[in-house]
Chains A and B, each alone.
Chain A
């Protein structure tokens, strides 16, 4: 029952929300499309929270995606024990870095009175959810060793089975609860993405790199 919920209902619900709500929000009111930076109001502790968080979580997240996109080459690469140990160590270090940052961001919201009016329920939900996600990730990396390898043989085929609308949850059902929690949190975060400031993830400035410095807009041209 719980397995069905976490591994079938949640991912499809999250996917549906991202696919339908994101464009709705984009076309109905882009005035709310912002990362809602609070650096302007409080920047001293932000530095120690926001940088570790982003620089920790982005490579870890990218590694998760890479596993899904190219499991074959990765299996070969991680078949070498040295590679495996190095990757696992880097992953764990980055995970701890992210936890440190996320914790800092959470405590900052608690401690800085100037942020009271710019802290909404969604900010709390996201911070706790992201912290739970990072903590369970670090726990898995520490106590369920060599995840970078077994992830390719379990979660990756499961995710592909989701994509082909033939969910094979038996890849996942025998894992301990903490792993299921990690997966559930991930789907929840994806589900919340279109409703919260997480939409800032959907924009990577690439035009900017190629454009000339000064941008003109002509009404007539």
Chain B
């Protein structure tokens, strides 16, 4: 047993309102730089949709993630030998057009324009070439809220039947906020010929060492989530750093901190590193169960002893016990990994959203006969869609979670109205009263320090002079083309 600690984020999709506040706070802190204009380490997509970069889920195109072959895991794109022969031209690399050409507006034209009969306008220009852009044809949220659904949403590979996009009576949508998943089996790390990408032992954060990266670009396509970006200015790869300068001091990640809907939970998971590979060799529909098996119980003395051997401090073990993430992912089993079938074992988990409550699958605005809450089989968002997104196609897992969410709502509604509640409703969904109350608290009124339990990094063992010299964050040296 090789027990390690990992900082994990859980997203409650049921509560995401798609306001993009997370994206903006991330951008302001980390990617408001030349070469990084197009990067959104945190982005929010509308599902169904093609996402950012366009069609990132299509691994036929970008060849990201892992495959099972001959009882072993192997990068889908290429092995080590072919990597050496594709260094000059990386065949699967996503291009600027797959994201969008970043633009700004020339506001000086508003007051510099010569007198004329027309109102002067601020013309768009490319932030890459500096040239004027006649017509903007893409942006980070080009298909936000199903805009252009006939072009974009119909292309969503998770839809079993994409004709429903044209049928307003059956159409549905929800948001999908995404950061780097800081995977347990990161394909970006494995693909890097320079060995510049690494996983931190203490908290599992995956980082690109900017000094070691030589810009070979294999990580940008190896990551099946397209969360490693190429900085066209510095010629190096960059990615979400899980706000480690903040989490190291116990502060919440900028995206989670600023979340308006309070959909995010950050906490510690303990996992058994010895069993990761074995778990990933399971068939697609058993992967979620395998994920849960790898996550260890922080209350178990044996697990705690093994964790201590790996240098996990008491403070971290305490945080693991209180972890809202452990509760949601393992105890209540309501949070699921995004596309587990990519086999990177992502460490960001999603609670699937319940569909619109008042209309059923079928005719528009037809109030279903189920009363106030939807029946599982009448959900507007097809379970197959959620299963394709979150459970490797296993619909039973999605149904279990939706049942829990419905039961929880019925339970709380009855409680609020002073009505009796049938015990069987909670029981059938695998909940009890205490559990339901705890889950309700986590989903709704839990304050900041309950939603996020982030232990600080222990630095007592370091010499204080060294600590002083090495603390703080910032790159003092310059990349090419910066003044």
A31 touches B128 (CB 8 A): no
Which of A63-71, A112-120, A126-134, A179-187 touches B?
A112-120
Q: Does B422 contact A (CB under 8 A)?
A: no
Beyond A114-B128, A205-B193, A208-B195, whether A214 also contacts B185 by CB under 8 A is yes
B197 touches A34 (CB 8 A): no
Report whether B199 and A216 are in contact in the complex, using a CB–CB cutoff of 8 Å: yes
Whether a CB of chain B sits under 8 angstroms from the CB of A37 is yes
B176: interface (CB < 8 Å): no
Within 8 A of B (CB), among A1-51: 28-41, 43, 46-47, 50-51
Q: B457 to chain A: which residues have CB within 8 Å?
A: 219
- Residue of A with least CB distance to B94: A40
CB closest residue in chain B, given A58: B88
Most-contacted residue by chain A among B80, B84, B88, B214 (CB, 10 A):
B88
Q: Does A211 contact B (CB under 8 A)?
A: yes
Q: What's the least CB distance linking A158 to chain B, in Å?
A: 32
A177 sits at the interface (CB 8 A)? no
Complex CA–CA separation, A216 to B183 (angstroms): 12
Q: Which of B148-156, B403-411, B471-479 contacts A (4 or more CB under 8 A)?
A: B471-479
Chain B interface bracket (under 10, 10 to 19, 20 to 34, 35 or more): 35 or more
Docked pose: A141 CA to B211 CA in angstroms: 41
The answer, yes or no, to whether B178 is at the interface (CB within 8 Å) is no
Measured between C-beta atoms, what is the minimum distance from A69 to chain B in Å?
A: 22
Closest CB-CB distance, A116 to chain B, in whole Å?
A: 5
- The 8 Å CB contact of A205, one of B194, B232, B311, is B194
Contact between chains at A220 and B202 (CB < 8 Å) = yes
Contact A31 B211 (CB under 8 A): yes
Task: Determine if B449 is an interface residue (Cβ-Cβ < 8 Å).
Answer: no
Q: When the two chains form their complex, are residues B214 and A208 in contact, meaning their CB atoms are under 8 A apart?
A: no
Interchain CB contact under 8 A, A54 and B232? no
- Complex interface: chain A residues within 8 A of B211 (CB): 30-31, 33
Assuming the A-B contacts A216-B198, A219-B201, are A120 and B235 also in contact, with contact meaning beta carbons closer than 8 angstroms in the complex?
no
Indicate if the CB atoms of A221 and B201 lie closer than 8 Å. yes
A217 touches B200 (CB 8 A): yes
User: Cα distance A43–B89 when bound, in Å?
Assistant: 8
Q: Cβ of B215: which chain A residues have Cβ within 8 Å of it?
A: 34-37
A215 to B201, Cβ gap below 8 A? Answer: no
Q: Is the CB of A31 within 8 A of B130?
A: no
**Chain A, Cβ-Cβ closest to B35:** A118
Chain B 81-109 interface 0/1 with A at a Cβ cutoff of 8 Å (1 = within): 00110001110010110000000000000
Counting chain A residues whose Cβ lies within 8 A of the other chain, the interface size class is 35 or more
Is there an interface contact between A117 and B129, defined as CB atoms closer than 8 Å? yes
Q: Which residue of B lies closest to A200 (CB)?
A: B214
Task: Find out whether the CB atom of B130 lies under 8 angstroms from the CB atom of A215.
Answer: no
Partner of B96, one of A41, A200, A217, A220: A41
**Within 8 Å CB of B481, what residues of A?**
117-118, 120
B157 proximal to A (CB < 8 A): no
A37 closest partner in B (C-beta)? B215
Q: Separation in Å of the B361 CB from the closest CB of chain A?
A: 43
Q: Knowing A30-B211, A34-B215, A120-B481 touch, does A215 contact B199 (C-beta < 8 A)?
A: yes
The distance in angstroms between the C-alpha atoms of A150 and B170, with both chains bound, is 79
Among candidates B80, B128, B461, B477, residue contacting A209 with C-beta atoms closer than 8 Å:
B80
- Does A165 belong to the interface (CB within 8 Å)? no
Q: Is B210 an interface residue (CB 8 A)?
A: yes
Among A31, A40, A53, A203, the most chain B Cβ lie within 10 Å of the Cβ of: A40
Contact B80 A208 (CB under 8 A): yes
Q: How far is the CA of A120 from the CA of B235 in the complex (A)?
A: 13
Q: A40-B232, A51-B89, A215-B189 are in contact. Are A32 and B199 (CB under 8 A)?
A: no
Given A37-B235, A113-B129, the answer on whether A203 and B214 have CB atoms closer than 8 Å is: yes
Asked whether any CB of chain A lies closer than 8 Å to the CB of B480, the reply is yes
User: Are A215 and B197 CB-contacts (below 8 A) given A33-B214, A40-B230, A43-B93?
Assistant: yes
Given contacts A120-B480, A216-B198, contact A35 B214 (CB under 8 A): yes
CA distance A35 to B189 in the complex (A): 19
A-B contact pairs, 30 of them (CB 8 A): A29-B477, A30-B211, A31-B211, A31-B475, A33-B211, A35-B235, A37-B235, A55-B88, A113-B131, A114-B129, A114-B131, A116-B131, A205-B84, A205-B194, A205-B195, A205-B216, A208-B194, A211-B195, A213-B75, A213-B189, A214-B185, A214-B186, A214-B190, A215-B195, A216-B198, A216-B201, A217-B198, A218-B202, A219-B201, A219-B457
Given A41-B128, A197-B235, 16 more contacts at CB 8 Å?
A: A29-B477, A31-B234, A32-B479, A34-B236, A37-B215, A43-B93, A47-B89, A53-B88, A54-B88, A114-B126, A114-B128, A118-B232, A215-B189, A215-B197, A215-B198, A216-B198
- List residues of B whose CB falls within 8 A of some A CB: 75, 80, 83-84, 88-90, 93, 95-96, 126, 128-131, 185-186, 189-190, 192-195, 197-202, 210-217, 220, 230, 232-236, 311, 457, 461, 475, 477-481
